[in-house]
Structure formats: structure tokens, C-alpha cells
Structure 1
Amino acid sequence: MDNIVLLFICMFIGVAFQFVKAFPKNMHISLNQFVIYVSLPALGLYYIPKIEISTALLYPLGIAWLGFGLSFLFFYSLGKYYGWSKKLTGCLIITAGLGNTSFVGFPVIEALYGSNGLETAIIVDQPGSFVVMATLGIIVATLFSRETLSAKAMVLKIAFFPPFIAFSIALVMNFITLDFPVLLQNVFQRIGDTVTPIALVAVGLQLKIERRSKHWKFLGLGLFFKLLITPLFFYILYLKIFKASGVMIDVSIMEAAMAPMITGVILASSYGLKPKLGSMMIGIGIPLSFLTLAFWYLILNTV
């Protein structure tokens, strides 16, 4: 519960900083860079070596990988049909395609399903959402921004993306069943803990809800896709088509219903993909998601 309270307090602090002249107008850019270059790599180095790999992980892993693919097909098709700008299409693909599977997901799942559910949530988040953001996310961000890179340049950009480097190192350590010394693990965990407060302050600094904003209809479409269409897709796929069941499946579907990913919004913003819309996706999506999560929890427990 304290993590959820932290979300709103940090976002409020960011909004309040908009009115403090002592803070630079572009302070959110520096905060975003700190999250991407320091906090996220530390998070990966802490969690990934501890994950137990098995075929049962395909269900929670599918939430992030298939979910992002679904988002790409959905918004790319609409963007082509309606003639949206590349920045708008890219923003919606990333922000609606990546879920807040850790900062909102972890406390919610732990409260509803206990430690067993949390183990599944970590699988959805670390080798799932985290890696999709560091690979497919950066590819989409590059393709839909003003940058024009060759295939080689894009591969190099991903290879030298700090979260991806950290993931690669941590994955190798997982394969050889080796973890960092306890001292370093504690350091990584503490640095990783800075993701939530710093990222949300950065989001709050950019959050401006304007009644006449042209983003409202796109915001509604993005949140409708993320909070309702995405979990419905996995509900049908996992429960009705694959006939799967159990806590792992329920937790996976609940994670699919989470609000947009904070660091996904930061990634889109750092590439200039409609940062105001991205901030609204989080600012409105997080509180709204508590209502839709209650709906999906009720559905899953009446099956």
C-alpha cells in the first residue's frame, strides 16, 4: 500500500515543482536520463540473476512481448488509416504497449495473491516488460522519431543502451547460476528503488492537463486499449483458447491490465514522442487503472 501512496505523492511533487522558479524548466530531462542510465540498469542487475527459467514462464513472458506486438499492430494500422503523425503513433505504441508491471503491479499483485503471485509478477516485469522496453521499445522510439538510423546503427544503439547492457550481463549470470556479492546486490537494490520516485517526479514536471488539449481523444483511445483491450486479449487467449488456469495465469492477466509503464513514457518522451500525451497516459491512467483492475479481478474470480 505504501508503494501506491508513493506513486501519487511523487507525481504531486513533480506537478508542484512546475511552479517553483528555482527549478530549471527542463529538469525532467535530467531526471529521465538518470532513470535510464542508472536506476534501470541497477534494477536489472538485482532481479534477473535470481529468476528461475522454465517453460512455464512463457505465459507471463507473453504478456509483455505479445502485448507490445498487439499495440504495434493496433496503433500502426490506425495511424496509417487516419494519417496520424509518426510521433503520435510511436507514442501510443510505446505507452499503451508497455504496462506498469512493477511499480503499480508489484504492490497490487502482492496484496491480492501474496508472495506466490509476486514471483510471477517479477517474471512479467523483468525478462518481459523491462527487456521489451530496452529492445523493441527503443526500436519503435527510433523509427517514429526524427532520427534516421541504418540497421547497423540501430543494433549498436540497442547494444549500448545501458538497461540492455545490464540485462545482458545479468542474463549471463543467470545462465551460469551466479549472483553478485550480497554487498553489491544491496547497492543495486537501493539504486533500483530510485526508479519510482525519480521517474514520477519527472512525469509530474511534464504533466499538464488542459481541457482543450487535442490529446484527449488519443488519451481515451490509448487507455481503452491498455486497460481493457489488452487484458481482454489475454483473457481470451489464455483462459478460453489455451484452457490454462491457476495463479500464474490470473496474475499474468492482471499484469496485462496495469496502467502504462512509467519508464516507457520516459523513453518515448526522451525521443520527443508527444511527451504531454505520455504524461497524461500515466497521470490519468494510474488512478483509473485501480477501477479497471478491480473489474478484472472480479471477472477472474467468477470464472
Structure 2
Amino acid sequence: MTNLLLLFICLTIGVLLRRLKSFSEDAPTVLNTIIIYVCLPAITLLNTTEIHFSSNLFLPILMPYLIYAGAFVFFNLIAPLINIDSNTKGALILTAGISSISFVGFPIFEVLFGKEGLQTGILMSQAGSFVVCGTLGIFTASYYSSADFSMKAVVLNIFKFPPFLAFCVAIILNISNWHFPLWSQQLLDKIGNPFGFLALLSIGLQINFQKKQLDLNALFYGLLYKLILAPLIIFLVYIIILGEYTPLGKLCVIGATLGSMNTATIVAITYKLNPTLAIQMVSISIPLSLINVAIWYGLMLYF
């Protein structure tokens, strides 16, 4: 569980550095720029070109899309009832609608489902949650951050987003069955490797749990969807309706129980979608999701 330990250490370092008066207030912006323009494109190019698609792995790839669609519908339905603005709605859709499959999920999948679980999790992340974040997520962020919606502006924002451009290139290379030479794979790996540390450090630098900074109303509904409704949706669709009483179906449910994706949080911050709420969502949902995994895994032992 090295990743989980690293998560808490990075967040703690960020919180401590935030208290240093000599530490620049612009530091999170600088870190986010490095993440968006350097680390994420490198990770995308490296991993997406190596994805091997097959029909029997359709379910784990589909899961992140179902969760995101559910978040979009849920928060649009309740927005008038809980009186939230468009920025808050966008932040909730992004952070509650995308799970931290890679950073939090990989070690959990390996412990619960072995090596095959980890391999399935990689596909779920690269072809699922990561694509959702880089396409639907950017569309959502651009839409809700713009006072005057313009489809042209939204499309331009998507295609100006470096990770999405990298994804388009990687898909073309994947279809062409072209693979990076070993030396370039190693180079991309080293460039993208700091991503997890930098993303969590950036989030930690911006954590603020002062009561006046907490939007308890929005936070409650965000956590409600992320930790309860999202896994319930996948459980009902995959286990009950489709009858997928298999390790694959159960892995998909566990994937839906995980906390918010740190990349989605960075996107929300970059597009100024209630950054405070976005940070609180990822900072609170990830620790709680560890308990959530245990509850849902115990429940599925009976199926």
C-alpha cells in the first residue's frame, strides 16, 4: 500500500508548506501547469499506445463512463434544490464523477484480485477514467467555467488541452500498431513519473478546512454521490441486472467506491470551478473510500 502512504505524506507536506510564509502563494499554479503541460501528456503517450482492447474487458472500460454520466444527471437534477452555482456544479460533476482508479485503485485491486485485477485496473484507468477526464471532463470544465457558453470555445479548449492532444496522438499510434522505442519509453516514464507526487503536493498546498471555507451543503451531496450512489449504480447494473457475479464485475464495483481522481481535481482548479470544494472532495473522499472499499467488498462476498 505504498501509494496510499505516499498520498497521506504528500498531502501532509503540502499542508505544512502552506504554513510557511516564505512559500509562494503561486506555487500550486506553477505545479498545476507542470502537471498539465508536461507530466500528463507524457503519461498519456506512454500508456495509451500500449493498451490492448478486447471485448471481454468492455465492462471495466465502461464503468467510469456510467459513473460520470450518473454524476452529470444527478447534480443537474439536484442543483436547483440545493441552490448551487454553475462553478460548484461543474466541480462536483468532475470530482464526484471520476474515481482515482490508478493512484488509489491499483494497490487495492492487486491486494483483492491479484495480478489480473491490477491488469484490469490499468485498462479501466487508461481507457476509462483517464479518457473520461481528458474528454468529457474538459468539456464539462469548459462549459461550466464559461459565463457565455460557446460550443466553438468549448471544442477549442478541449483541443488546446495538452493531455487530450497527447491522447489523440497515442490513439493514432495504437491503431497503427506503432510502439515507442525502449529509450523513449524510459524517457517518457521519467518525465511523467513525478505526476502523482506533484498533484498531491499541489492539492495539499491548497487544503483549507477552516469552517468558513467549508461548503457543507455541496460537500455532503458530492460525497453522497461519490461514496454511496456511484458504487450502488454499478452494483445494480453489473451484479444485479447483468448478473456479472464474477471477480470482474466485483472489481468494477470496487472501482466505483474509490475517492475522487486527483487529475480531475487539478482540472477543476485549472478552470476555476470552486477550487476549494474540489480540493475538499479529493482530500476527504479518498480516506473515506478506504472504509468504503471494505464495506462493499464484504457485501459482495455474499454474491
Fold-level match, TM-score > 0.5? yes
Q: 1:214 Cα shift?
A: 4.3
More deviation, 245-254/224-233: 245-254
Q: Describe the SS at the equivalent of 1:295.
A: helix
Q: How does 1:61-210 map to 2 (within 5 A)?
A: 61-146=61-146, 148-210=148-210
In structure 2, the residue matched to 1:294 is 294
Equivalent pairs, count: 303
Q: 1:259 to 1:156 in 2, by over 3 A?
A: same
In structure 1, the residue matched to 2:269 is 269
More deviation, 195-204/16-25: 16-25
Q: Is the 8 A contact 1:100 1:262 kept in 2?
A: yes
Deviations 1:136-157 (A, max 9, x none): 1111111111453522232222
Q: 1:213 Cα shift?
A: 3.9
Q: 1:172 to 1:202 in 2, by over 3 A?
A: same
TM-score normalised to the size of structure 1? Answer: 0.96
Q: How does 1:14-25 map to 2 (within 5 A)?
A: 14-25=14-25
Mind listing any 5+ residue stretches in structure 1 that lack a counterpart? none
Q: Which amino acid aligns with 2:244?
A: A
TM-score normalised to the size of structure 2? Answer: 0.96
Q: 1:212 Cα shift?
A: 4.2
CA distance in 2, matches of 1:146, 1:153: 9
Deviations 1:65-102 (A, max 9, x none): 11111000000111133432111111111110011011
Q: Is the 8 A contact 1:142 1:148 kept in 2?
A: no
Q: How does 1:221-232 map to 2 (within 5 A)?
A: 221-232=221-232
CA distance in 1, matches of 2:147, 2:248: 40
More deviation, 23-32/187-196: 187-196
In structure 2, the residue matched to 1:39 is 39
C-alpha RMSD over aligned residues: 1.4
CA distance in 1, matches of 2:270, 2:206: 12
Q: 1:286 Cα shift?
A: 1.2
* Identical-residue share of aligned pairs (%): 37
Q: 1:211 Cα shift?
A: 2.8
Mind listing any 5+ residue stretches in structure 2 that lack a counterpart? none
Q: 1:223 Cα shift?
A: 1.2
CA distance in 2, matches of 1:89, 1:245: 35
Q: Which amino acid aligns with 1:165?
A: L
In structure 2, the residue matched to 1:48 is 48
Q: 1:259 Cα shift?
A: 0.1
Q: 1:189 Cα shift?
A: 1.8
